[in-house]
Homo-oligomer: A and B are copies of this chain.
Amino acid sequence: MKNAITLFAAIALGTAAFAQEAETPPPSPSEVLGAAPAEAWQVISPDDLLVFQLSTAPDGSERRIVIQLMDAPWSQKWVRNMRKLAQGGWWDTNSSVYRIAPGFVAQWGDPDEDRAPMEGLEEVGRDDFTHALPAPVSLENPCEDRVLDNAFCDVYAPVAMFKSGWPIATDGTEDWPLHCPGMVGVARDVDPATGHGDTLYTIIGHAPRRLDRNLAVVGRVVEGLDLLRTQPPGTGEMGFYAEGQDPLTIQRARLASDLAPEARPRYKVLKTDSDTFVQWMGALVQPSPFYADPPSDFDICALTYPVREVEGE
């Protein structure tokens, strides 16, 4: 039998104590999600899915990166810019994944950056990295209870939580999306106005939360993250590809809504206000024979928010 360390043992038996009380073991997190009713899921609009078609794999199979664009009210200037860039064919020319810094980020766009920016993009600035709440909110300190609920103890902010399926932190006057694994940000130069949304990165290692509020977070990778994580490291400075290294070519990028219906990726995201969300969190802290001593609370970035491919039809 293979020594397995798994997030949650596939065989989700209860603890001995539990087993005396109940006939059937409690469901595992994946069982909770598998049994969720259709209404617990929100199908992602094809206007919110951005598809980067890559060069085919050595074995001839298709490869792509699919991003879910961030929902309002966060980072919407960049999201609108990204839709314009896709519709204007920006990434269909001279674009590639040209930076792999293992444990940190994968970055893509135009590696030469000698094209004039696309016309008609919205101006952005430091104030756009966060969203001002309509009215100040008073916060309890979630580090006191250390119980897993949707008010996470957080090292970098007073409170973190999932809002509309996104990892978000708040200080009571503003809130902002977080640099968790798989989240997509906008690269820039020193001046925050330089990052319009044509050069993107995703987090492939431990969450670099120091980037929060310093760079725009504009979505998450829903397909292709493992491909990015396992590309050859860039041998240049900071993980940029050096002369002679072959970057992963981007052939074109389109919104799913601009693809033929049969070519569209289709994904759904768990509704944060569903019963299934509450059950999923409960299952995460359930002891099992393998994990006799599970944590009672989680770092929000240690959780991968449930997004699944829509099956069938």
Residues of A bordering B, CB below 8 Å:
1-7, 9-10, 100, 102-105, 107, 109, 111, 113, 126, 141, 143, 146, 152-156, 180-181, 185, 187-190, 194-195, 199, 201, 204-215, 225-226, 229-233, 237-238, 240, 289-295, 297-299, 301-302
Contact = CB atoms under 8 A, between A and B. Distances in A.
Contacts of A298: 155, 210
Contacts of A206: 180-181, 205-207, 301-302
29 contacts: A2-B111, A3-B107, A3-B188, A3-B194, A3-B199, A4-B187, A4-B189, A4-B238, A5-B185, A5-B187, A5-B201, A5-B211, A7-B208, A10-B237, A100-B230, A102-B225, A102-B226, A103-B204, A103-B229, A126-B292, A154-B155, A155-B155, A190-B290, A205-B206, A210-B298, A214-B291, A214-B293, A226-B233, A230-B231
A29 B1 CA distance: 45
B1 A302 contact: no
B156 A299 contact: yes
Contacts of A213: 293
Nearest to A289: B190
Contacts of A188: 3, 5
Contact of A155 (B102, B199, B205, B299): B299
The 7 A-B residue pairs with the shortest CB-CB distance, nearest first, are A3-B187, A102-B229, A102-B226, A143-B143, A3-B199, A155-B299, A206-B206
Contact of A3 (B102, B195, B295): B195
Nearest to A130: B293
Given A225-B103, A297-B156, A207 B289 contact: no
A236 to B, nearest CB: 10
A73 to B, nearest CB: 20
A126 B287 CA distance: 15
A147 to B, nearest CB: 12
A143 to B, nearest CB: 4
Contacts of A205: 181, 204-206, 229
Q: Which residue, of A204, A206, A297, has the highest number of chain B Cβ atoms within 10 A?
A: A206
A302 B103 contact: no
B9 A190 contact: yes
A9 B231 CA distance: 24
Nearest to A194: B3
Contacts of A102: 225-226, 229-230
A156 B190 contact: no
Nearest to A126: B292
Contact of A232 (B111, B225, B230, B290): B230
A248 to B, nearest CB: 13
Nearest to A157: B295
A158 B107 CA distance: 36
Given A3-B194, A205-B206, A230-B232, 18 more contacts: A1-B189, A3-B107, A3-B109, A3-B187, A3-B195, A10-B237, A100-B230, A103-B181, A103-B226, A146-B155, A206-B206, A206-B207, A208-B302, A212-B295, A214-B290, A214-B292, A214-B293, A299-B299
